[in-house]
Amino acid sequence: MGNRLILAASLALLTFSNNLLAEQDADLSRAREALSKQENDADTEKALEEVFEAAEKNYSLLREGGVSLNYNFDYSYYGDQRLDLVIEPTLDSEGQPTGSSTIRNADVSPVASHTFTNSFALDYGLFDNLTIGGRLPLVAKFDTEDSLTAYSLGDISSTVRYQPFEYIPGKLSQTWFGSLKLKTGDSPYEIDTDESLSTGSGYYTVSGGVSASKVLDPVVLFGSASYGYNLPEKGLNQVRGSSLLTEVHPGSSISFSMGFAYSLSYDVSLSASFQGSFNDETTFVFRSGGERQTSTVGSQMSGIMNFALGVRVSPKTIANVNVGFGMTELSPDIILGLSLPIDIEGVKAPAGS
């Protein structure tokens, strides 16, 4: 049962390792595309391996000198119906508006956005209770409305995770983490929005938080909470209609997750979790006709329900598949994910080091 609980705990960390961190834009459709997973937690398979090895050591992070490399594939889908109206004012016999209007044309068209992300996460154990890591995402996006595609590097991120107390079976386990996300992807505030799609947030993000788990035989309860500060972007020069976008002041965000995992056997585990994110208002600064103008997008809330399956495909390999769906308008309609470890021969710290 001990190994089964360890496997369940590892899957539990998988389900909340990615939180939502949002990019906001001036209209609703761009705001929906901006919401994306937060990258301040450990990546999927790394967390699984760390907790699975917890029975052999005092801490559940990588051992000192240990290295892990993981591959993750994520897919998200946004679907919507866009309504285009042509409205003309009603005129009287003298050609003056009467105050009423007439709908001349109404066109409803489906809109879909597909995002594929292939990412590689590399982690290194500085000490038994301190792990540093980095994540390299490769993004492909498709938009059916404007028939646009994008293939580019996403936002690279680095993470530090610290476990202040030794891992004790049956006790509450907690890990503190901090993350820095770089604006290496194609910024939505620098591209030609009529010709290209963005693959990054467009600004730097510093975030931190804590994750915890508790084993209650035969269930594992888990949760996490984090705060993210998005740095303002200035010196922009993007054309938006008849105006010029010069500054973006993105709001801060608070993310959280909670859920449970159950070990069906030594080789199979199931989990369910909820992930939520609150994003404060974002302010855009424009130049129009030599005058400075501001526009503010109100605060937004997003939520995702996620289900995950972990299967041991070999004595040293656990494959993880997750399926999720959005619970708010700004969340993805469908989320799919796959995580696999990449074996690095000769670089992991030996047992007992």
Q: What is this structure's pTM?
A: 0.76
**Predicted confidence (pLDDT) at residue 12 exceeds the cutoff of 60:** no
How far the first Cα of the chain sits from its last, in Å, is 26
**Predicted confidence (pLDDT) at residue 106 exceeds the cutoff of 80:** no
Summarize pLDDT for 133-161 with one digit per residue, the tens.
999 999 999 998 778 999 999 999 999 99
The whole-angstrom separation of Cα 216 and Cα 334 is: 31
**Predicted confidence (pLDDT) at residue 28 exceeds the cutoff of 50:** no
- The pLDDT value recorded for residue 7 is 42
Summarize pLDDT for 307-346 with one digit per residue, the tens.
999 998 887 778 899 999 999 888 899 999 999 888 775 4
Mean pLDDT, rounded, for 7-17: 42
Summarize pLDDT for 173-227 with one digit per residue, the tens.
999 999 999 999 999 999 998 889 999 999 999 999 999 999 887 888 999 999 9
**Hey, what domains does the chain have and what are their CATH numbers?**
2-80+113-342 (2.40.160.40)
Task: Identify the CA nearest to 16 among candidates 44, 35, 52.
Answer: 44
Angle in degrees, 0-180, between the axes of helices 2-16 and 44-52, rounded to the nearest 10: 160
Summarize pLDDT for 285-308 with one digit per residue, the tens.
999 888 899 999 889 999 999 999
